[in-house]
């Protein structure tokens, strides 16, 4: 059973809008989760955060704090700090405990739209307040680059930017709203991308405002 979704024949259709190919390998699913599905997902994420509190990640070497707060669920979690740099690790940096399991409704989304036969090992949870952003980057710390990255947005709308495989390639920007899903796979797996800005007060999903982004990743081949 998929929470908030409808089952059509053998295909589980959660989105109300058709999928759009933004550029080769980049698939955009507007309104993928309906409001009920979004609320259920927020509740699952709250339970993860209760076990694995949000922390402030820091840039390698400089120790400059990122503007987003992060946590993870899954066997592995992505993190960065001054001493250790970008990496995946099996435990939370503050509690020392293993990350909580990936909620089953997130695993169902991976099964529905990733097109990949192995399950995700990591789900990075980013929390953006109204002034947070994320600079242009590639997701390149995974060994299995054949697997896509599956992203789900909840709460405030953001301006998302995506380009090509080189930092200097031209970019395009579009808005990601609550319930939207995005897949970076195939030719688009190494596309540079980032979040330029959050649009405050564009969603009633999160009572305190802000935006949550969840990215499901396969780390090992
Ligand atoms: O917040 C987003 O939509 C993108 C997040 C992202 O690129 C990342 O966590 O690597
Ligand atoms: Mn990324």
Residue nearest to atom 2 of ligand 1 (CA): 213
Any ligand 1 atom below 6 A from CB of 195? yes
Ligand closest to Cα of 191 equals 2
Specify if 1 maps to a domain.
no
Specify if 191 maps to a domain.
yes
SS3 39: helix
Specify if 38 maps to a domain.
yes
Any ligand 1 atom below 6 A from CB of 149? no
Specify if 99 maps to a domain.
yes
Q: CB count, 10 Å around CB of 65?
A: 13
pLDDT tens, residue by residue, 21-47: 999 999 999 999 999 999 999 999 999
Q: What is the pTM of this model?
A: 0.93
Going by C-alpha positions, the residue among 103, 100, 123, 105 that lies closest to residue 51 is 100
Residue 11 has pLDDT above 50, yes or no: no
Any ligand 1 atom below 6 A from CB of 160? yes
pLDDT tens, residue by residue, 106-153: 999 999 999 999 999 999 999 999 999 999 999 999 999 999 999 999
Which pLDDT value is given to residue 17? 80
**Count of structural domains within the chain:** 1
Specify if 84 maps to a domain.
yes
CATH label of the domain that carries residue 17: 2.60.120.590
Specify if 127 maps to a domain.
yes
Which pLDDT value is given to residue 14? 58
Residue 110 lies in domain: 6-217
At residue 219's C-alpha, the angle toward residues 215 and 221, to 5°, is 140
């Amino acid at each position: 059973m998929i929470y908030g979704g409808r089952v059509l024949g053998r295909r589980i259709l959660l989105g109300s809008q058709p999928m759009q190919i933004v550029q080769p390998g980049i698939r955009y699913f507007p309104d993928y989760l309906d409001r009920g599905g979004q609320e259920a997902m927020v509740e699952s994420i709250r339970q993860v955060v209760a076990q694995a509190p949000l922390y402030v990640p820091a840039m390698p070497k400089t120790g400059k704090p990122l503007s987003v707060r992060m946590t993870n669920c899954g066997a592995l979690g992505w993190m960065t700090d001054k001493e250790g740099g970008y990496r995946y690790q099996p435990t939370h940096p503050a509690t020392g405990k293993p990350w909580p399991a990936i909620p089953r409704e997130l695993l169902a989304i991976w099964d529905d739209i990733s097109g990949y036969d192995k399950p995700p090992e990591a789900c990075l949870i980013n929390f953006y307040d109204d002034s947070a952003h994320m600079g242009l980057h590639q997701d390149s710390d995974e060994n299995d680059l054949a697997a896509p990255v599956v992203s789900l947005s909840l709460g405030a709308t953001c301006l998302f930017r995506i380009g090509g495989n080189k930092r200097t390639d031209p970019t395009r920007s579009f808005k990601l709203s609550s319930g939207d899903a995005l897949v970076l796979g195939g030719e688009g797996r190494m596309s540079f991308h980032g979040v330029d800005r959050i649009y405050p007060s564009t969603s009633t999903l999160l009572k305190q405002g802000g935006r949550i982004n969840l990215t499901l990743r396969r780390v090992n081949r």
